[in-house]
Structure 1
Amino acid sequence: MPSSPPTVEAARPAISLVATLYRSRAFLPRFLDECQAALRSRAGDDFEIVLVNDGSPDDSLAYALSRRADVPGLVVVDLSRNFGHHAAIQAGLSVARGEHVWLIDADLEVAPAVLPELHDKLLSSGADLVFGYQERRKGGWFEQASGALFWRLLNRLSDTAVPENVLTERVMSRRFVQSLLSLGDRSLFLGGMMSWTGYLQIGMPIAKSQREGASTYTLAKRLQLMTTAVSSFSAKPLTAMFPAGLTITLLAFGYALYLVLRKLIWGDALLGFTSLMALGALSLGVLTTGLGLLGIYLGKVYTQVQARPTFIIRDLHR
């Protein structure tokens, strides 16, 4: 009986562009047009566009599927629910087949036309990652101040240096993407994961415009991201608990000794009662904070040990 011919793997496109969809319907017509123009300027028709529907509540998925008839190489990944921005990006990277991968948000705060510039920099420098960053954060004073505080705290506490004000927009080599996907983190902070992966990485300044409509990245999500980022890339909050606890203990012991001596020498029965209560409250606050930190790290261990996938693909339309 003759053996069946070996299967031939489909040739990789030159470039894969990956973007996630969440309340993105209003941006998609212009976004897809600009992406095609940017891709054709560097790869002709040898490209694919991977759109990941991250449980979007609007009709982003339906519109993306309707455009498969007239957008060549459009791949639509439909996740089973909303897993979050970073998990959706990871899903898109796992599906992308290109020799080079372009990553961009679909909200048009950054125009797809900047990606060819990042691509040229990647080729001319021999780097495996070229990322965009803001020289000056957009938005009002609160957004600028909170963003600056986020990056300062992250790099002060983290063992992995992450470029400040880094953007989603970046261009990557195939080997970089494969290395990134091999990390196996369950609590995702892609900025830190990309920095930790290594290789030659170069940043380029990019101007970012204000999004039309309200941002889907709320303050609560930013705080959650910061907690994930710090606890994923540093044990410093845990190790800082010991000197903090030791200092409080020594202060409490010293103050108690002082009160005993005052009692024995001068008979001051209630001296320092208010201060002692304040010191006790401070000690309780430090203890509670320490237990909270332990809970965060134990929660991450629990999540990692569960080994659940960071995303589930319901349908893949290629």
Structure 2
Amino acid sequence: MEPLYSLIVPIYNEEANIAELYRRVSAVMEQLDGDAELLFVDDGSRDRSLAMIQALRQQDSRVCYLSFARNFGHQIAVTAGLNFARGKAVVVMDADLQDPPELILDMAEQWHQGYHVVYAQRTQRRQESLLKRGFAYVFYRLLTRLADVDIPTDTGDFCLMDRQVVSVLNAMPERNRYIRGLRAWIGFRQTAIRFERDPRFAGEVKYTFRKSLSLGINGLVSFSKVPLRLSTYVGLIAAAIALLMVVLVLYWRFFDPNSRLTGFATIAVAIFFLGAVQLISIGILGEYIGRIYEEVKGRPLYTLAEVAGFPNIQRSTPNGAIAVRHDSTS
């Protein structure tokens, strides 16, 4: 029988968290009102994460897993989990236990009340640096103002989604994926469950500031054309300033030839200003063109080295993934 719930957990070097994660998640699975599967997606881990998942698979038939042939990134790992999840309700959560598994029971209750998406919204971030909290606060509110869709603030990928929503997500072929944005773009009935985010249980933080910034830029570019318009506006302002400079230069030339504002310094400042405007505009265009380039190549989003727990698995998924080895215990 197909499970009623699928719990997707991306894994990247999380050997210190897997045992406690399994203990808490399995306790939640026992309290759910239907059968559940626990789907681990190993994102090319270099530690003992995959071996620990394989051991869990041997002792618990509800555990299934995908193992990437290399590291493809968190958002792609979530995408792979969505491609393979079989439940009518699909939960996405991280492995560091900052997303409390016990909240899944509240999400399931909201799902039974008719909501298609139940997302967790953070009210507080415990033991996170002031810089990271400040960056997150500014980014989410900036994205809300600039995005073409209403993306809820202070939300991550921790959510429960109905099978209808998952099917639509799986039909989207785009490569630069920002799951929480796509989730909002799809629509359907959505609601929030607020919670205080716990600190990481163990191990090192995987989303460094650089990765968080990259994800933020990806989300902004994927759901807003404002940066492109901004370069146009800056270009218009630069053109207005250039016209003003023409008027000033003519004035100085004919009425005040000895002015200290004339000469090489003025020309140099104007050149540097226009050069900066051009480079910024080219950079913004490059972000969008780079995404077009990624889309037209048509490569699969990920490749799989090992799959276990899926008896009727196909050799490929809607996103073109290739299953290299199929575990005989599936």
What is the TM-score with the length of structure 2 in the denominator? 0.89
* 3-state SS, counterpart of residue 37 of structure 1: helix
Partner of 1:250: 240
Contact kept in structure 1, 2:16 and 2:203, CA below 8 Å = no
Show the 5 A alignment for 1:230-245. Answer: 230-245=220-235
Amino acid at match of 1:311: Y
* 3-state SS, counterpart of residue 102 of structure 2: helix
Give the whole-Å Cα distance in 1 for the aligned partners of 2:22 and 2:104: 14
Moved more, 26-35 or 48-57: 26-35
* 3-state SS, counterpart of residue 243 of structure 2: helix
Amino acid at match of 1:308: R
Partner of 1:90: 79
Contact kept in structure 1, 2:119 and 2:193, CA below 8 Å = yes
Give the whole-Å Cα distance in 1 for the aligned partners of 2:203 and 2:70: 23
Which of 283, 286, 289 is the aligned partner of 2:274? 283
Amino acid at match of 1:313: L
1:255 deviates by 1.5
Show the 5 A alignment for 1:158-197. Answer: 158-197=147-186
Give the whole-Å Cα distance in 2 for the aligned partners of 1:81 and 1:188: 18
Residues 1:50 and 2:26 aligned together? no
Deviations 1:119-157 (A, max 9, x none): 111112x11010001013331211110111211222222
Amino acid at match of 1:57: R
Which of 251, 270, 293 is the aligned partner of 1:302? 293
Residues 1:23 and 2:13 aligned together? yes
TM-align CA RMSD: 1.4
1:270 deviates by 5.4
Q: 5+ unaligned residues in a row in structure 2: which ranges?
A: 310-330
Percent identity, please.
27
Amino acid at match of 2:197: K
* 3-state SS, counterpart of residue 130 of structure 1: strand
Give the whole-Å Cα distance in 1 for the aligned partners of 2:268 and 2:145: 33
1:269 deviates by 6.4
Deviations 1:196-244 (A, max 9, x none): 0110110110221111333110111011111111111111111221221
Give aligned pairs, total: 306
1:266 deviates by 2.7
Partner of 2:61: 72
Deviations 1:293-315 (A, max 9, x none): 11111100010111212212221
Moved more, 109-118 or 192-201: 109-118
Residues 1:114 and 2:103 aligned together? yes
Give the whole-Å Cα distance in 1 for the aligned partners of 2:266 and 2:153: 42
Deviations 1:172-200 (A, max 9, x none): 11111101111211101111111001101
1:281 deviates by 1.3
What is the TM-score with the length of structure 1 in the denominator? 0.92
Runs of 4+ with deviation above 6 angstroms? none
Which of 148, 151, 158 is the aligned partner of 2:137? 148
Partner of 1:127: 115
Which of 168, 191, 203 is the aligned partner of 1:213? 203
* 3-state SS, counterpart of residue 24 of structure 2: helix
Moved more, 34-43 or 195-204: 34-43
Moved more, 265-274 or 14-23: 265-274
Partner of 1:4: none
Give the whole-Å Cα distance in 2 for the aligned partners of 1:270 and 1:169: 61
